[in-house]
Amino acid sequence: MLETFINLALFVMLVATAVAITRMRRLFGVAMMAGVFSLLSAMLFVTLDAVDVAFTEAAVGAGISTVLMLSTLTLTSRIEKPTTRSPVIPLIVTAITGAAIIYGTLDMPNFGDPNAPAQTGVAAHYMANSPEDMDIPNVVTVILASYRGFDTMGETAVVFTAGAGVLMLISGLRRRRRKDSNKKEEIS
């Protein structure tokens, strides 16, 4: 019961954050709320026992993406410019996409169903044989470090590459600011 309440509370906060993002016009606030949305998503992934996905969401979504958006804001306007286009076409595209996603989930098994393909496939093998195969008692660690080692290495490489890219962007921005301030001093 408590777990259901926590999941529901996190989902309501996610929806409220998404609505707040769509209503804001100050881009700094949008960037901050996008970071909050990513942290809430990471917390929801943790409650769903997807800790590896939660870690990636927190690192890339809340951390690196927020820094990248804030760095971009230093180069652009701080307030969204009013649009002259009608929002009808994007609304129709979003509605069609949402309907297609909902249609695609209609034949999915119920959440936690023991007869679901995810439960009857290799999961039973992992649960039964992981402690003997790897001599590590934590099955999640065995799956991430051994059975899915290349996938985990790929996720780590993505996080590292994104972090290195952000650091390169920030260092280039500092050099540009120094050049601009030196030019202003020369003009004065």
User: Average model confidence (pLDDT) for the chain?
Assistant: 83
Short-list 113, 117, 144, 114, CA closest to 130: 144
**b/e sequence 94-126, b meaning 16+ C-beta within 10 Å:** eeeeeeeeeeeeeeeeeeeeeeeeeeeeeeeee
Query: What pTM does this model have?
Result: 0.57
How far apart CA 182 and CA 184 sit, in angstroms, is 5
- Render pLDDT for 72-126 as a digit per residue (tens, 0 to 9): 888 777 787 887 888 899 999 999 999 999 999 998 888 878 888 877 877 778 8
Give residue 174's pLDDT: 65
Q: Say whether pLDDT at 176 is over 80.
A: no
- Render pLDDT for 30-41 as a digit per residue (tens, 0 to 9): 999 999 999 999
Short-list 57, 36, 24, CA closest to 155: 57
How far apart CA 25 and CA 43 sit, in angstroms, is 27
